[in-house]
Amino acid sequence: MGMSAACRQHMRLKQILKSVCFAGEQGSIRVNPSCLISVRFRKPKFLGRAPSKEPSYFAKKHPTEKDVESNTALYRNYNAILKSLVCGFQEDLLRKQQLEATITSNELKWDEEGHHRKCMSYNEAENEKLRTVRMERIQDEITARQKFEQTKVEEKEKEAEILKGELRKQVEKVIEESKDWITLENLEEKITEAIDNPINFNFCVDEKGVIIKRTAQVL
């Protein structure tokens, strides 16, 4: 099978770059075998993967139980050595500090009262800090509670106002409707009005609400 055009062009360019160097002063191109540089080009992607590489070569190999066990032993050994070195350095540093110290034997005595005063002062400072933080938290909780209660009161007042308005509207509606109610005073007037203006409900309608049949009402 013949070589493709792209592959031939790539090989030609490679040969030209190997045999040509640039002269910066004259600005021209000339062949100079003494300044030739061997350049390693990357294989183009269109050539594909080398047939000598099997798919298993690129697969990720996970450590076995034996590898984990051996690495764990090495890790623990390394930590033990590192800790021993640190302890040795600390011991040398402490010994050096003890040798360079110039304090007297009286100063080396344990001051129980001074230590107690220092501990008590530190304890009081921590208690004061905690007390301040606690009082701030309690004050914030009280403020939040007051705001919540105030919000509930305002909501209840709004609901009461809305309810009063609805009740007022209902009462006004009932008062307006009561003008047409039948009472002992207007009973004869209503009877006369009903006789003079009879209303006939003897009719039938279709699905569109149009009256299609009406029957006379007999008193």
Strand, coil or helix: 20: coil
215 in a structural domain: no
The total number of structural domains in the chain stands at 1
Asked if the structure places residue 35 within a domain, the reply is yes
Q: Which comes out higher in pLDDT, residue 150 or 29?
A: 150
Instruction: Say if CB 23 and CB 29 are below 8 A apart.
Output: yes
pTM of the model: 0.30
Q: What is the pLDDT of residues 15-70, one digit of tens each?
A: 665 555 444 444 444 544 544 555 567 778 887 776 776 777 777 788 889 999 99
99, part of any domain: no
Q: Is position 15 within any domain?
A: yes
**Does any domain span residue 85?**
no
Report whether pLDDT(87) > 60.
yes
Structural domain of 31: 5-50
CA 134-137-141 angle, 5° bins = 140
Rg (CA), the chain: 53
Residue 26 included in any domain? yes
The helix/strand count (H/E) of the chain reads as: 4, 4
**pLDDT of 10 over the 70 cut:** no
Is the residue at 143 inside a domain?
A: no
**HSE value, Cβ hemisphere, 13 Å, CA-based, for 43:** 6
Q: For residue 179, is it within any domain?
A: no
DSSP letter, residue 197: S
